[in-house]
């Protein structure tokens, strides 16, 4: 099988991946990309939690506190939550 260079050295140049076919390498790349997106979403959730004001209404705070659980935080980190104050 020839040298497949699509995607560059990032996936195809890692030692140990030479035994996999193109489909397997693509699946590994997509899986790594998914994990990175989830991790960045969770970190963004923590950063947004630190920016909440913790004054009523507490919608933002509750959603981002629930987002401390990684599967939820991976989603809530990417969502913008606007607090509407009733002044």
Residue (of 80, 19, 16) closest to 45 by Cα position:
80
In whole angstroms, how large is the CA radius of gyration of the chain? 20
Domain edges within the chain: 40-80
User: Model-level pTM greater than 0.75?
Assistant: no
CA 10 to chain centre: 19
Q: In the chain, where does DSSP find H-type helix? A: 9-12, 22-51, 59-66, 70-76
Question: Is the link from the previous residue into 57 a cis peptide, with omega within 30 of 0?
Answer: yes
Per-residue pLDDT of the chain (87 residues; tens, 9 = 90+): 455 555 545 444 555 566 778 898 899 999 999 999 999 999 999 999 999 888 888 888 999 999 999 889 999 999 988 765 554
């Amino acid at each position: 099988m020839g040298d497949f260079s699509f995607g560059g050295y990032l996936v195809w140049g890692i030692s140990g991946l030479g035994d996999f076919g193109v489909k397997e390498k693509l699946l590994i790349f997509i899986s790594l990309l998914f994990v990175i997106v989830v991790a960045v979403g969770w970190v963004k959730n923590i950063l947004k939690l630190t920016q909440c004001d913790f004054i009523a209404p507490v919608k933002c705070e509750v959603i981002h506190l629930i987002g401390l659980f990684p599967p939820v935080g991976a989603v809530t980190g990417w969502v913008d939550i606007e607090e509407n104050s009733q002044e």
